[in-house]
């Protein structure tokens, strides 16, 4: 007997909608063109659900709607996309492509803590979708509009839940998706890599970057090599460590996830340090070496400044992308600091996730999180700042109670322990191959295991993906994703195939040089963003549903251990993204004389029927920031389009020289577009390649 499919039109909880705003608004494109639309805002009586609808003019409507699901919904999430602009403007993208736009708060009543039944996320979304259809048919006098739901990361879980458990949408485009066992494992293993490999990132990047040896393990010590191999087998893309190689360490959403793990499994944080089989129980392990337990005495306290300005508050509340939505759940220490009589000694202290627990005084038992530490070289004391924290005590209340002479404990034990949690979460389902390295030959776990695999309860939907899609699905996945292992899309593909008996209604597009974030600012000399691919996938889904036009075939790849390896030949790779190969004097690395010219040649290949090359730009300065870099690829290159055996492409050459000796990295970024239109805002698809130039 099949599972029960939810029919929102029959749910008594969503039979009394109301509207409190109904007005004409406009959105402005980067070129200054304005698009008028009808904005409607409302909710369902007796529920916390709120929604917003954005309807295009009658002559622009093409019988469809796009509904975006945020990773971490909040009480006002139904208006979170209103302040987006440029190619990130989800509303304008819908309006200019003949669709109306739907967004809801998914029933969230608070940014913090529990929000009731997680199934409300997709049930309320379905109710809003069905109501929007009713309003659209009234406004346009049309037949039932086609609906497409989409969302990434946490919104990807919700999107899959929507298309598997309801009949409210005809198609779905989940992107940068996880598996049912991704959380908290992907986040914890990333943090473990940041700790163990913190002195090895430069070597890893140098080996893997253009002109390097290609051997990521070259120059690493035994501990570092073992950890890199373990995390690579788990699915972390080795090239994604370039961010850490640049000195940028970000805990991701681990501060949000840690309190929930500790609440659900408090015994783990003690057993990790005591029970054989856990890394912390080995006194020679990196965990034991990095453990910090230091008792300090307070010398003085500086209270935090004023709260954020209204503009800053608005910026925080407007976060709804896959990289930043979770940050709405954090409290920042602002400019608060505590002066201590003594600080811990050491040249390579691991100071991430250090809890500050007060042992004496009025603040006894209170806990804050260390932000940073500055040593006074004369006294041996110094200053500590307060970091962004979640699930801890109120910052100002705690600081106001602290007095000189109070004692506190600096302890990173819990943070180090949670980093290994993935090792003790081996799924019984053998289709999760990333855990094969922690299994015996008979498939049983080789390490101690916790009572349950926590990931199944972390999707935020009250369900687990089963592949029983109730429509068509296109998945967009990033191959340099630092937050979601690329293999998760392959796992879901196999799950759909088993449930459906085929993948006729399913596509997956993998994208090179792309990380997790879903904004155009994600881009520098190392990576591009996948926003253009996502938009094109949504449009292809609309055509698939409305005209029957088949979308492009899925990317060709194979899974090797925990890594996804694409077909090397871009002409055979399929998918959407063009392949680009950049050489310098015919190689990936060239030695030249100072002031001597060298020749760069970029060969671009666009998959069959995926469009034409629309541009190429060069960058001779390898300066970057993350997530976004300003002024990148300042040099526009010329190119000649090519056609061979039905495959479109382009060739570009550039001559350059460097006056000073040194090692330089040169990058070339190409764009392609389905119709070969360089001015189309939303569907430019990017890729890049690099070469190394050694100037003598």
Asked if pLDDT for residue 310 goes beyond 50, the answer is no
Per-residue pLDDT band at 307 (split at 50, 70, 90): very low
Structure tokens, 152: 């990434």
Average pLDDT over residues 160-184: 97
Percent of the chain with pLDDT over 70: 94
What pLDDT was estimated at residue 312?
Answer: 41
What pLDDT was estimated at residue 202?
Answer: 97
Per-residue pLDDT band at 159 (split at 50, 70, 90): very high
Q: Looking at the domain assignment, is residue 474 inside a domain?
A: yes
Per-residue pLDDT band at 433 (split at 50, 70, 90): very high
Question: Which residue range(s) make up the domain with 215?
Answer: 185-282+419-455
Asked if pLDDT for residue 308 goes beyond 70, the answer is no
What pLDDT was estimated at residue 392?
Answer: 62
Asked if pLDDT for residue 554 goes beyond 70, the answer is yes
Residue-wise pLDDT for 455-488, tens only, equals 998 899 999 999 999 999 999 999 999 999 999 9
Find the range with the poorest average confidence among 89-93, 393-397, 617-621, 663-667. 393-397
Q: Looking at the domain assignment, is residue 567 inside a domain?
A: no
The CATH code of the domain that includes 170 is 3.40.50.1820
Find the range with the poorest average confidence among 22-26, 135-139, 237-241, 367-371. 367-371
Beginning with the edge strand found earlier in the chain, give each strand of the sheet holding 99-104 in spatial order. Answer: 17-28, 34-44, 50-56, 99-104, 64-68, 146-152, 171-175, 472-478, 506-511
Domain boundary among 547, 567, 597: 547
Average pLDDT over residues 583-591: 98
pTM, two decimal places: 0.93
- Measured between alpha carbons, how far is 58 from 136 in angstroms, rounded to an integer? 10
Q: Looking at the domain assignment, is residue 619 inside a domain?
A: yes
Residues in contact with 673: Cβ distance below 8 Å, sequence separation at least 6, in sequence order = 532, 611, 612, 614, 680, 683, 684, 685
Find the range with the poorest average confidence among 209-223, 307-321, 344-358, 630-644. 307-321
Asked if pLDDT for residue 663 goes beyond 50, the answer is yes
Percent of the chain with pLDDT over 90: 85
Average pLDDT over residues 24-33: 98
Closest to 465 (Cα-Cα) out of 477, 474, 456: 456
Asked if 390 and 398 count as a contact pair (C-beta separation under 8 A), the reply is: no
Average pLDDT over residues 181-200: 96
Average pLDDT over residues 669-687: 98
Number of domains in the chain: 4
What pLDDT was estimated at residue 255?
Answer: 72
Note whether 50 and 171 are same-domain residues.
Answer: yes
Residue-wise pLDDT for 120-139, tens only, equals 999 999 999 999 999 999 99
Give kind and range of the element (H or E) at residue 138. helix 120-140
Per-residue pLDDT band at 564 (split at 50, 70, 90): very high
Asked if pLDDT for residue 244 goes beyond 80, the answer is yes
What pLDDT was estimated at residue 323?
Answer: 63
Per-residue pLDDT band at 325 (split at 50, 70, 90): low
Note whether 175 and 221 are same-domain residues.
Answer: no
Note whether 389 and 468 are same-domain residues.
Answer: no
Q: Looking at the domain assignment, is residue 563 inside a domain?
A: no
Note whether 247 and 327 are same-domain residues.
Answer: no
Asked if 251 and 353 count as a contact pair (C-beta separation under 8 A), the reply is: yes
Q: Looking at the domain assignment, is residue 248 inside a domain?
A: yes
What pLDDT was estimated at residue 380?
Answer: 82
Average pLDDT over residues 211-220: 98
Average pLDDT over residues 658-686: 98
Asked if pLDDT for residue 330 goes beyond 50, the answer is no
Per-residue pLDDT band at 113 (split at 50, 70, 90): low
- Measured between alpha carbons, how far is 283 from 277 in angstroms, rounded to an integer? 12
Note whether 121 and 258 are same-domain residues.
Answer: no
Asked if pLDDT for residue 189 goes beyond 80, the answer is yes
Q: Looking at the domain assignment, is residue 555 inside a domain?
A: no
Average model confidence (pLDDT) across the chain: 93
Asked if pLDDT for residue 235 goes beyond 90, the answer is yes
Asked if pLDDT for residue 71 goes beyond 60, the answer is yes
Average pLDDT over residues 288-300: 97
Note whether 472 and 491 are same-domain residues.
Answer: yes
Q: Looking at the domain assignment, is residue 389 inside a domain?
A: yes
Give kind and range of the element (H or E) at residue 491. helix 487-500
Which stretches within 501-547 are classed as H helix? 531-547
Per-residue pLDDT band at 333 (split at 50, 70, 90): low
**Could you tell me the CA-to-CA distances from 207 to 184, 201, 297 in Å, in that order?**
30, 10, 45
Average pLDDT over residues 152-161: 97
Per-residue pLDDT band at 316 (split at 50, 70, 90): very low
Note whether 443 and 513 are same-domain residues.
Answer: no
Domain boundary among 376, 407, 438: 407
The CATH code of the domain that includes 592 is 2.60.40.4100
Average pLDDT over residues 591-616: 98
What pLDDT was estimated at residue 504?
Answer: 98
Q: Looking at the domain assignment, is residue 562 inside a domain?
A: no
Find the range with the poorest average confidence among 226-240, 331-345, 444-458, 494-508. 331-345
Quote the strand ranges of 528-588, DSSP E.
Answer: 557-560, 563-566, 579-584
Asked if pLDDT for residue 645 goes beyond 50, the answer is yes
Note whether 49 and 95 are same-domain residues.
Answer: yes
Asked if pLDDT for residue 646 goes beyond 80, the answer is yes
**Could you tell me the CA-to-CA distances from 351 to 192, 265, 343, 672 in Å, in that order?**
13, 24, 12, 44
What pLDDT was estimated at residue 322?
Answer: 67
Note whether 24 and 148 are same-domain residues.
Answer: yes
Question: Angle, to 10 degrees, between the axis of helix 185-196 and the axis of helix 254-264?
Answer: 110
Which stretches within 330-434 are classed as H helix? 395-401, 413-419
Asked if pLDDT for residue 331 goes beyond 60, the answer is no
Note whether 428 and 328 are same-domain residues.
Answer: no
What pLDDT was estimated at residue 378?
Answer: 83
Q: Write the burial class of residue 12 (CB in 10 Å: 0-12 exposed, 13-18 middle, 19+ buried).
A: exposed
Note whether 43 and 139 are same-domain residues.
Answer: yes
CA-only gyration radius of the chain, Å:
26
Note whether 131 and 232 are same-domain residues.
Answer: no
- Measured between alpha carbons, how far is 557 from 507 in angstroms, rounded to an integer? 13
Asked if pLDDT for residue 439 goes beyond 50, the answer is yes
């Amino acid at each position: 007997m099949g599972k029960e499919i939810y029919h929102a039109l029959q749910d008594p909880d969503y039979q009394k909608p109301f509207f409190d705003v109904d007005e004409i608004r406009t959105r402005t494109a980067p070129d200054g063109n304005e698009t008028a639309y009808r904005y409607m805002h409302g909710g369902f009586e007796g529920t916390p659900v709120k929604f917003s609808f954005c309807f295009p003019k009658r002559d622009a409507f093409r019988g469809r709607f796009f509904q975006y699901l945020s990773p971490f919904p909040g009480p006002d999430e139904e208006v979170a996309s209103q302040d987006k602009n440029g190619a990130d403007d989800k509303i304008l993208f819908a309006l200019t492509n003949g669709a109306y736009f739907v967004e809801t708060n998914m029933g969230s009543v608070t940014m913090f803590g529990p929000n009731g039944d997680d199934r409300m996320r997709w049930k309320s979304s379905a109710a809003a979708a069905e109501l929007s259809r009713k309003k659209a048919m009234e406004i346009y006098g049309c037949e039932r509009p086609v609906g497409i739901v989409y969302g990434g990361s946490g919104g990807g879980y919700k999107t899959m839940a929507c298309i598997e458990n309801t009949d409210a949408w005809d198609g779905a485009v989940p992107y940068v998706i996880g598996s049912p066992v991704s959380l908290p494992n992907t986040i914890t293993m990333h943090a473990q890599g940041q700790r163990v490999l913190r002195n090895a990132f430069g070597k890893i990047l140098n080996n893997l970057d253009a002109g390097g040896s290609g051997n990521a393990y070259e120059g690493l010590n035994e501990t570092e090599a073992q950890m890199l191999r373990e995390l690579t087998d788990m699915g972390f893309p080795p090239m994604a460590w370039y961010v850490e190689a640049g000195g940028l360490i970000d805990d991701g959403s681990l501060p949000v996830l840690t309190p929930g793990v500790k609440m659900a499994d408090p015994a783990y944080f003690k057993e990790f340090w005591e029970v054989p089989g856990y890394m912390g129980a080995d006194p020679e392990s990196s965990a034991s070496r990095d453990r910090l337990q230091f008792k300090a005495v307070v010398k003085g306290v500086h209270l935090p400044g004023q709260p954020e300005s209204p503009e800053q508050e608005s910026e925080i509340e407007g976060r709804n992308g896959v990289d930043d939505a979770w940050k709405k759940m954090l409290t920042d220490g602002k400019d608060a600091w505590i002066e201590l009589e003594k600080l811990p000694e050491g040249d390579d202290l691991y100071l991430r996730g250090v809890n500050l627990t007060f042992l004496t005084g009025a603040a006894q038992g209170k806990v804050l999180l260390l932000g940073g530490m500055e040593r006074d070289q004369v006294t041996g004391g110094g200053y500590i700042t307060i970091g962004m924290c979640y699930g801890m005590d109120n910052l100002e209340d705690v600081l106001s109670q602290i007095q000189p002479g109070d004692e506190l404990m600096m302890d990173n034990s819990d943070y180090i322990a949670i980093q290994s949690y993935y090792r003790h979460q081996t799924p019984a389902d053998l289709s999760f191959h990333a855990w094969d390295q922690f299994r015996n030959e008979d498939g049983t776990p080789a390490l101690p295991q916790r009572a349950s695999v926590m990931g199944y309860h972390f999707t935020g939907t009250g369900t687990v993906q089963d592949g029983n899609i109730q429509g068509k699905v296109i998945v967009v996945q990033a191959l340099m994703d630092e937050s979601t292992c690329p293999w998760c899309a392959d796992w879901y593909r196999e799950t759909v195939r088993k449930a459906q008996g085929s993948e006729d209604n399913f596509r997956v597009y993998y994208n090179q040089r792309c990380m997790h974030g879903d904004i155009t600012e994600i881009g520098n000399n190392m990576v591009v963003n996948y926003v253009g691919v996502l938009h094109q996938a949504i449009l292809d889904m609309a055509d698939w549903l409305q005209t029957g036009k088949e979308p492009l075939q899925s990317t060709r790849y194979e899974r090797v251990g925990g890594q996804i390896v694409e077909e090397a030949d871009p002409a055979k790779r399929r998918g959407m993204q063009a392949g680009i190969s950049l050489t310098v004097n015919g190689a990936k690395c060239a030695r030249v004389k100072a002031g001597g010219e060298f020749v760069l040649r970029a060969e671009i290949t666009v998959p069959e029927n995926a469009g034409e090359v629309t541009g190429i730009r060069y960058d001779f300065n390898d300066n970057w920031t993350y997530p976004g870099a300003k002024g990148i690829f300042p040099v526009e290159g010329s190119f000649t389009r090519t056609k061979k055996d039905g495959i479109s492409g382009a060739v570009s050459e550039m001559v350059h020289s460097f006056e000073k000796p040194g090692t330089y990295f040169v990058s070339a970024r190409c764009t392609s577009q389905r119709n070969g239109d360089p001015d189309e805002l939303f569907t430019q698809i990017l890729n890049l390649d690099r070469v190394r130039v050694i100037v003598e």
